Amino acid sequence: MIAYLIRRILYAIPILIGVNLFTFALFFVVNTPDDMARMQLGIKRVTPDAIEKWKQQHGYDKPLMLNRAASGTGKITDTIFWQKSAGMFVLEFGFSDDGRSISREIATRMGPSLAIALPTFMIGLVVYVSFALMMTLFRATVLDLAGVTLCVLLMSISGLFYIIGGQFLVSKLWHLVPISGYAGGADSIRFVVLPIIIGLVGGVGSSSRWYRTIFLDEIGKDYVRTARAKGLSELRVLFRHVLKNAMIPILTGVVVVIPLLFLGSLLTESFFGIPGLGSYTIDAINAQDFSVVRAMVFLGSLLYIVGLILTDISYTMVDPRVRLS
Amino acid sequence: MSFMPDILWSDKLIFLLLASLSASAWYVRRHEHLLLPWRRVAHSATAMVSLMVLSLFLLIGLLDSLHYRAALPEKNNGETVYSPDVLSVFDKLVTPLRTHTEKTYSAPLAVTLYAKESTTDAQGNVVRDYPRLQYGGAHLADEASRDGDIAQRSLIGAAVGLIAGLLIVFATKRWLQSRNWPKRPMFVAVLIITILIGAIANLASGYHVLGTDKVGQDVLYQSLKSIRTGLVIGTVTTLVTLPLALFLGIAAGYLRGWVDDVIQYVYTVLSSIPSVLLIAAAVLMMQVTIDTHPEWFDTTASRADLRLVFLCLILGVTSWTGLCRLLRGETLKLREMEYIQAAQSFGVSTLRILTRHIVPNVMHIILIALVMDFSALVLAEAVLSYVGVGVDPSMISFGTMINSARLEMGREPIVWWALAAAFTFMLVLVLAANLFADAVRDAFDPRLNRSE
């Protein structure tokens, strides 16, 4: 198990280098730093001096990948690629265009993101799985059909509708919670309730339908017939046997997103004015702050890989037959 | 010539897709074993009704993809000068909708503007009142007769629609006789669609059925124009995903070894980047390129169109990995089958094994994945446009409609109609696509046990 984990972690390094090379190529090879400087300073009336100054301020005045002028390891380290990427592997993300430390921003913004994403995820999991189990219990009846129809309908509605509609109804018409904003401590509940509920409603369609398919796949298997033949009640069969055996496909989809919860939700956070990582990313996209976007891309892929490893570990916990080697 | 065809990039791609779709349909029709699952799809009433709705949307999208530039009346040294406005055949068909713009917001079917304005009446007094619209209900002598007129118009329109629908039903009845299709639901759907179209068309000749937006443009026109954008995003993207996923997935699964390692590495890297971030980063970069090269585009439409095509390309590059993984897994399974081993021992070349034996056996996976992706892509467009990394702001799409209407929710009384229209059209399109995709999956997935 330990050897397996070490191998997986070592395997993550080339992938992260690949992610870095890919985003680097995307950002700096397609467009030269000069183009970016011009973009930041405004297309018209930029003097070459201004461009040089901007590049120097933001550390883009070096060669891209290989510095022929430098000597020794400087050939590689004294380049934009090295300067901008090497730090990421020790979680040093450098500074954003307005001069703030990105690592610090990430640390402070993680809290609000989690305050929304974690409850949405946990309550969501329970609600979706129970709803799916209920549909499975009443399978091939009118209730099941109604449930599936509701799921298809809910998943055909744009996520933007839930947010805009929910904000309008709950905050504007009924004045139950503030429309947007955030406060620390116990006060935050007033601000996070609506985003959580909207997140739950938005996800119920696709998730419950997916879990229902998994349960239905299981319910046709022989061990279910054996359990019924033993005289177990349908409820017991569902909870004791089907749910347990459906754990592997469920975990495959679920565990991998747990680390990504840190990144928050782009849409929800920016609509509700939550100062989390999602809105940070959106602001960076709108302000065309490339350092922040690259940092978030790196963080995202790092967390995704952590999620994959966690998924493998969780398999061993629910299924004793799985051995990691 | 009074006009010059102006074929945009996305038009070419759309018609390329249409051509390949027709070619595959023709091929499938000639092969009974390929036709069989489609017969199962045709048995399902929901699938056929959804297909009809989708076809209607597709027709609007296709008409909206035939672009041209009209000639201007004045000539330059005897040479015809063409207008910089790129129009489509669909624009031409609905010219009244496009040109009848009001001053600003007006509610659906309203005869007055949304806000009061100061006007000077005949006696020279300044009056604050809701001014009448320039086009909406302009034929009415007084505002009080509006309701009666609306009822009359919609009834006449519905009646004409009903007659047209009945004509269609009777015309196709003989042709459908030999087919085992769910005729009654289909006929009912035809009637509902034609009645709706008739009523709305007749109303639209005198009113703004769904109101007008901030600059006074008809919301119905915008909603109809958005259909093409959604369809382009949902379909052209597959032109990118399909070759990448098919070629790489099968190569990785069949050849294994270092090819498999390299391909797996590439798709792990790509799929480990959160897709919204990847799309955002790529679109930002594209934005810089487009802004630094204004000389590439002769019209604003061609710039917006190239951005749309790029967006499809980017969406394709970010979304092929899932399908590639599925295809790789399936190929790994297939390559151990006896018939593949037989072909190998006969000395059949690798390329021939891949094209003759592997590809036909993974087709169902591809088909299911593509129809399932369509609705997700249409929904994604709206979200991306909101984030600011979607289509060009000058291009009418569900996302840009929602984005501009969202800011007006704070007004009193609220301006709800643009949002409602965009969400309703999107819901109908996505719901139809989802229901059709479900039927296709049920018919093609060999894992589902069927009782027929």
What is the CB neighbour count within 10 angstroms for residue B214? 14
Residue with more model confidence, A26 or B152: B152
Residue of A nearest to B265 (CA): A15
* Percent over 70 (pLDDT), chain A: 95
Query: Taken in order B82, B87, B89, B95, is the CA torsion positive or negative?
Result: negative
Contact B231, B58 (CB under 8 A): yes
Q: What chain B residue is nearest to A163 in terms of C-alpha separation?
A: B406
Read off the pLDDT band of A317 (50, 70, 90): confident
Of the pLDDT bands very low, low, confident and very high (cuts 50, 70, 90), residue B248 is very high
Q: What percent of chain B has a predicted confidence (pLDDT) above 90?
A: 36
Tell which A residues from 205 to 264 touch B, by Cβ distance under 8 Å: 220, 260, 263
Alpha-carbon gap, residue B412 to B450, rounded angstroms? 56
B362 has a pLDDT exceeding 60: yes
Q: How many residues does chain A have?
A: 325
Strand partners, B71: B82
Q: Which residues of chain A lie closer than 8 angstroms to B406, CB-CB? A: 160, 164
B364 or A83, which is more confident = B364
| pLDDT at res. B451 | 42
Task: Chain A: give the shortest CA distance to residue B32, in Å.
Answer: 30
Would you say residue B197 has pLDDT above 80? yes
pLDDT beyond 60 at B225: yes
The band of B160, judged by pLDDT with boundaries at 50, 70 and 90, is very high
Stretch A185-192: mean pLDDT? 80
Interchain pair A39, B386: CB under 8 A: no
Q: Is B131 helix (H, G, I), strand (E, B) or coil?
A: coil
Contacts of A22 in chain B (CB under 8 A): 269-270, 273
What's the CA gap between A101 and B135, in Å, rounded? Answer: 56
Distance CA B309, CA B392 (A): 11
For residues B29 and B276, the model is more confident at B29
Residues of A in contact with B382 (CB under 8 A): 158, 160
Tokens for B311, please give them.
């967006």
Reference B402, options A165, A205, A203; nearest CA is A165
Least confident of A39-48, A122-131, B8-17, B99-108: A39-48
CB of B398 within 8 A of CB of B425? yes
B281–A156 CB contact, under 8 Å: no
Of B272, B276, B281, the CB nearest to A26: B281
Segment B405-434 mean pLDDT = 86
Whether residue A109 contacts residue A280, with contact meaning beta carbons closer than 8 Å, is answered with yes
Name the residue of chain A whose CA is nearest to B449's CA. Answer: A220
ipTM of this complex = 0.85
Name chain B contacts of A35, Cβ cutoff 8 Å. 288-289, 292
As a whole number, mean pLDDT of residues A307-314 equals 88
CB A289 within 8 A of CB A97: yes
Task: List pLDDT tens digits, range A175-188.
Answer: 888 877 887 777 78
> Residue B283: what pLDDT?
83
- Take residue B421 and report the two structure tokens written for it: 């229209």
- Of the pLDDT bands very low, low, confident and very high (cuts 50, 70, 90), residue B436 is very high
Interface of A with B in 144-203 (CB under 8 A): 152-153, 155-161, 164, 167-168, 172
| pLDDT value for B447 | 67
Q: Tell me the pLDDT band of A325, cut-offs 50, 70 and 90.
A: low
The pLDDT score that the predictor gives to residue B452 is 37
Answer whether residue B55 shows pLDDT above 90: yes
Q: Is the pLDDT of residue B374 over 80?
A: yes
Number of inter-chain CB pairs under 8 A, A vs B: 123
Would you tell me the crossing angle of helices A247-254 and A188-219 to the nearest 10 degrees?
Answer: 140
Q: Which of B265, B272, B414 sits opposite A305 (nearest CB)?
A: B272
Determine, for residues B274 and A304 on separate chains, whether the beta-carbon distance falls below 8 Å. Answer: yes
HEC readout, chain A: CHHHHHHHHHHHHHHHHHHHHHHHHHHHHCCCHHHHHHHHHCCCCCCHHHHHHHHHHCCCCCCCCCCCCCCCCHHHHCCHHHHHHHHHHHCCCCECCCCCEHHHHHHHHHHHHHHHHHHHHHHHHHHHHHHHHHHHHCCCCHHHHHHHHHHHHHHHCCHHHHHHHHHHHHHHHCCCCCCCCCCCHHHHHHHHHHHHHHHHHHHHHHHHHHHHHHHHHHHCCHHHHHHHHCCCCHHHHHHHHHHHHCHHHHHHHHHHHCHHHHHCCHHHHHHHCCCCHHHHHHHHHHHCCHHHHHHHHHHHHHHHHHHHHHHHHHHHHHCCCCCCC
A161-171 pLDDT per residue, tens: 999 888 888 88
> What mean pLDDT do residues B232-253 have?
92
Pick the most confident of A50-54, B76-80, B177-181, B255-259: B255-259
Mark yes or no for CB contact B280/A160 under 8 Å: no
Find the residue in A nearest to B376 (Cα).
A156
Residue B294: asked if its preceding bond is cis (omega within 30°), the reply is no
Higher pLDDT among residues B104 and A65, named by residue:
B104
pLDDT given for residue B161 in this prediction: 93
B106 close to B208: Cβ distance less than 8 angstroms = yes
More confident residue, B204 or A29: B204
Reported as a single tens digit per residue, the pLDDT across A113-157 is 998 999 999 999 999 999 999 999 998 899 999 999 999 999 999
Q: Which residues in chain A (40-69) have CB-CB distances under 8 A to chain B?
A: 43
Distance CA B364, CA B446 (A): 9
Q: Per the CB < 8 Å rule, is B277 touching A172?
A: no
A31 touches chain B (CB under 8 A): yes
Q: What integer best gives the mean pLDDT of chain B? A: 87
Q: Tell which residue, A285, A256, A206, A29, has the closest CA to residue B268.
A: A256
Residues of A in contact with B426 (CB under 8 A): 158
CA distance linking residue A171 with residue A165, whole number of Å: 10
Q: Please write the tens of the pLDDT for every residue from B287-323.
A: 777 877 777 777 788 888 888 999 999 999 888 998 9
pLDDT score recorded for residue B346 = 92
List pLDDT tens digits, range A57-74. Answer: 777 777 776 777 777 776
Q: Which of B46, B272, B279 is most worth mutating to test chain A (most A CB atoms within 10 A of its CB)?
A: B272
pTM of the model: 0.90
Spacing of C-alpha A225 from chain mean position: 39
SS3 (DSSP) at B87: strand
What does pLDDT average to over chain A? 84
Contact A247, A239 (CB under 8 A): no
Dist CA A198 CA B358 (whole Å): 44
